[in-house]
A and B are shown apart, each in its own frame.
Chain A
Amino acid sequence: MTTKHISVTVNGEAREADVEPRLLLVHLLRDVFMLTGTHIGCDTSNCGACTIHLDGESAKSCTLLAVQADGKSVTTIEGMASGATLHPLQQAFWDQHGLQCGFCTPGMIMQAAWLLKQNADPTETEIRAGIAGNLCRCTGYVNIVKSIQQAAGELAPSEDAATEAAATIQA
């Protein structure tokens, strides 16, 4: 099968690959770039375990082709912490017991980061609606909501901080 050469910036690092046009973005990330933090939980775009940021926007990487990411920037869960310092959402999920098996967690954190970028001070209803495309089978969502509230509280104090956090996500 013919392949196409693509260039993608992944977590700030320039990456290249020769891929089949049909290769899903999630398989590029997992099987080619070996970034296995992005998970696959369904084949119908329902579960959101594969959520990443594409040019700063939340996207389900099982529903995109790798070639669609050509020339673009991808942020995965592996790009959220800076060294030993966790992203406020990562810290909040840990603090609030916002995860159990941990399988949906990367996608949930990526979606929550996008949600907080759109709305720095969401209500509980807005948080619940904002993660409706991400399924969790373990937690019943209660502590995920609390985690996002904690992170929102930490990110919210100044507009600058929120902007900075969003920039970190993209960087």
Chain B
Amino acid sequence: MATEMQRQTTPEVGGMGHSVKRKEDPRFIRGAGQFIDDLVLPGMLWLDIVRSPYAHATIKSIDASEALKVPGVAAVITGADLEKAGLHWMPTLAGDKQMVLPTHTVMYQSQEVAAVVATSRYAAADGVAAVMVDYEPLEVVVDPHKALLPDAPVLRPDRAADKQNNHIWHWESGDRAAADAGLAAAEHRISEDIYIPRIHVASIETCGCVADWDAIRGQMTLHMTSQAPHVIRTVLALVSGLPEQNIRVKTHDIGGGFGGKVPVYPGYVLAVVASLTTGKPVKWIEDRSENLQADSFARDYHIHAEMGATNAGKITSLKVSTIADHGYTDAAADPSKFPAGLFNVITGSYDFPNAFVEVDGVYTNKPPGGVAYRCSFRVTEAVHAIERMVDILAHDLDIDPAKIRMDNFIQPEQMPYKTPTGWEYDSGDYPRALKLAMDMIGYDDLRKEQAEKRARGELMGIGISSFTEIVGAGPSHDFDIIGLKMFDSCEIRVHPTGKVLARIGVQTQGQGHETTFAQIIAEELGFPVADIKIEYGDTDTAPYGLGTYASRSTPVAGAATAMAARKIKEKARHLAAHLLEANPDDLVWTNGKWSVKGSPDRSKTIQEIAFAAYTNHPQGMEPGLEAVDYYDPPNLTFPFGSYICVVDIDKGTGQVTVRRFVAVDDCGNIINPMIVDGQIHGGLTMGFAPSLLESMTYDENGNNLAGTFMDYLLPTAVETPAWELGKTTTPSPHHPIGAKGVGESATVGAPPAIANAVVDALWHLGVRNIDIPLTPQKIWAILREKGVTA
């Protein structure tokens, strides 16, 4: 069992627990990163896309004749062109299918309708403006509840005869009868509708690619913004028929991912087709409006939750029914068995005897949804629902929200803990994290201040969220994406001079893998971080892996890295035994050396051993010092935390100000504390954003109302709180280095803390629930309705 890590290495070596400065930064601070739009290849053409102004319409005709007259325009590609090659539809990672270009019907506003290829960025845009498309608008379905009515238009007539409706799938987990019985027997029962709105990751770099077809060599190189390059290579091989060894996907530097760069978008495929047909490299780069209006979206969950409890506040049962709006196709990147992701982690940090969860996926005239916003597997939706429900219960029963959590937490001694929906939590100490958060923020004093302010008519709220995350997908018996098992990998090569090249199956888009994965190797083998180079994102060289999303890099590829290093350490032991003329069983490993037990002077450093592996290996032993590991995790990891938020509400304007926000996180053993803090800062900000600002909304005609940064409001440095962080450490018992994952914890945990604080400030006015985002307009209207004036 892994135990809490004490630092084993010196700062010069920089193993686990050291805040090593990032190895990737020198290029970024000089503007020398290599992002996709920085790539220019000789003879390269540009691709731009004609998009639909309608959310649902029949395409009557597409006239490209004027566009083809525009100087510089080389080609116009339509759905009819693709249909000839059978490429007008493509599979989604969720097993649905998606149009590359429509042949008859557009399904959402800004959908790709045609592509223009030209000799420059500007000529391609001119060509787009000159393509004439004649549309006949159709009835638009925006509301997923209406989509399920019998008279709703069938949006996907391409589906099987028995599926001529807008219902995609039904998924359930837990015991319905037991949950119903638990609710029926409960002394106190609450019921609430909670909507988690559609949001968009909006990484500051948009998506793009350069497709480079070499007809002579039969080689397709696809430089692209992808969080999962190997999956893309395999999908491309299956769809295009090109042999997989002749497809190379390269990612370069990625300007933020957050899940938005997992799916395959039509633009990528169009660039590939354009390169195949023109024989030249073709670049496609989205602009921001295209990115916001057409790329995959997250959330959009309409949740109905019921919870039972005793009058003393002991929770007894949970039942949740959800309508999931997936837009016109299910393009989620969830594992095959989990169309609603890991939403059944909804029992959270609490010891529920009974629980039942069901989700129904629905088609609407919106872009593909259900993908990601720094958490694709529906954990954010689950955590929001359970943390709101626990808070409502506390207020209903007039029990302090901290006490009701403490009274219902799964206790550390119950770990590993089996949930009523089938998960086995690996480790956790929930009371310790909440206690630390309460101490850090001065919880009792804040409650006193709140009482005084309320007496004066001022609106102040305190909100808690004690979340449990579920990351590290995942064990192969349960987890695959389009059939590919969700293992991950690392290959380590130790060079003769004692320097290291390691390649990983995951991808960094800002997480700092070049540094943290080097630290894992430094910890295991004693090579200084400075001597270790980490590579990724080139499918010709990196071992196969499923990529970086859902906080899986450290739990899965991090484990593979430690295991590969241990294989090297074991071979090094035999090499050292040869060099020291000792029995391998008599050697001990300390500080990057194998030494003879009891004779520390008789030792060989890992660098000496590396040299010997190439110059003086024993006869009969395989020369060299390399290892690869494909790690199939035995379980997921379950990071957790407790967040407390203090808000003040302006009665005149409805403006919510987050005065303080304390975040206590536990992600197991930490590789690099500085980077973990950075991940939490960023995650908190991406939790804050949909709580107060961001929401992708549509009018009844399916028009996107937040299609630019003028309307889709990302937090600036002004609104973003000065986050206060705390930590506890509860290692994962099954992970080789006791680590969990951390990238998404804060995004998952923050929104209910903020929502709970706002409702806490308004509960005495008769407010039970307000759906995020908690905009001034929304709060102002509630205050006026409740008779509150400035």
Contact = CB atoms under 8 A, between A and B. Distances in A.
Interface of A: 1, 20, 22-23, 27, 30-31, 34-44, 46-47, 49, 76-78, 80-81, 86, 90-91, 93-95, 97, 99-106, 109, 124, 127-129, 131-145
B30 A139 contact: no
Nearest to A96: B674
B38 interface: yes
B678 interface: yes
B458 to A, nearest CB: 23
B204 A41 contact: yes
A115 B31 CA distance: 19
B198 to A, nearest CB: 18
B33 A44 contact: no
B204 A142 contact: no
B20 to A, nearest CB: 10
A105 B254 CA distance: 13
B716 interface: yes
Interface string B1-44: 00000000000000000000110111111111101011010000
A41 B288 contact: yes
A137 B709 contact: no
A41 B205 contact: yes
Contacts, number: 179
A24 to B, nearest CB: 9
B722 interface: yes
A86 B21 CA distance: 15
A31 B28 contact: no
A134 B32 CA distance: 19
B121 interface: yes
A41 B26 CA distance: 21
Contacts of B683: 140
Interface stretch (B209-217, B505-513, B624-632): B505-513
Given A36-B31, A134-B717, 9 more contacts: A1-B71, A20-B122, A41-B204, A47-B714, A90-B29, A101-B205, A103-B203, A106-B31, A136-B717
Contacts of A106: 28, 31
B685 A103 contact: no
A77 B26 CA distance: 12
A143 B509 contact: no
Interface string B121-141: 110000000000000000000
Nearest to A127: B717
B288 A141 contact: no
B696 to A, nearest CB: 16
Nearest to A42: B288
Contacts of B257: 101
A92 to B, nearest CB: 9
A140 B682 contact: yes
A47 B685 CA distance: 16
Contact of A124 (B29, B206, B256, B722): B722
Interface in B670-687: 674-675, 677-678, 681-686
Contacts of B718: 128-129, 132
B255 interface: yes
B258 interface: yes
Given A43-B289, A44-B288, A102 B30 contact: no
B204 A49 contact: yes
A37 B288 CA distance: 18
B720 interface: yes
9 contacts: A39-B205, A44-B710, A77-B31, A101-B510, A106-B28, A135-B716, A141-B716, A143-B681, A145-B717
A115 to B, nearest CB: 11
Given A94-B25, A103-B33, A139-B681, A42 B709 contact: yes
Q: Looking at chain A's contact residues, is the secondary structure mostly helix, strand, loop, or mixed?
A: loop
A102 B674 contact: no
B360 interface: no
B685 A141 contact: yes
Nearest to A130: B717
Nearest to B30: A81
Nearest to A95: B21
B682 A137 contact: yes
Nearest to B25: A94
A34 B675 CA distance: 32
B264 to A, nearest CB: 21
Contacts of B708: 42-44, 46
A80 B720 CA distance: 28
B717 A39 contact: no
A133 B27 CA distance: 23
A101 B717 contact: no
A89 to B, nearest CB: 8
A140 B31 contact: no
B723 interface: yes
Contacts of B330: none
B253 interface: yes
B63 interface: no
Contact of A105 (B28, B201, B512): B28
B710 to A, nearest CB: 5
Interface centre among B28, B31, B720 (most CB of A within 10 A): B31
Give the 10 A-B residue pairs with the shortest CB-CB distance, closest first.
Answer: A37-B31, A102-B28, A103-B255, A101-B510, A77-B31, A140-B681, A100-B510, A140-B685, A46-B709, A36-B38
Contact of A41 (B25, B206, B510, B682): B206
Contacts of B201: 137
A22 to B, nearest CB: 7
A142 to B, nearest CB: 5
B202 A137 contact: yes
B709 A135 contact: yes
B287 interface: yes
B205 A103 contact: yes
A123 B28 CA distance: 26
A143 B677 CA distance: 10
Interface string B698-724: 000000000011100010111010110
B678 A100 contact: yes
A135 B22 contact: no
A108 to B, nearest CB: 10
Contacts of A38: 31
B25 A137 contact: no
A151 to B, nearest CB: 12
Contacts of B28: 99, 102, 105-106
A103 B32 CA distance: 10
A132 B255 contact: no
B256 A132 contact: no
Nearest to B202: A137
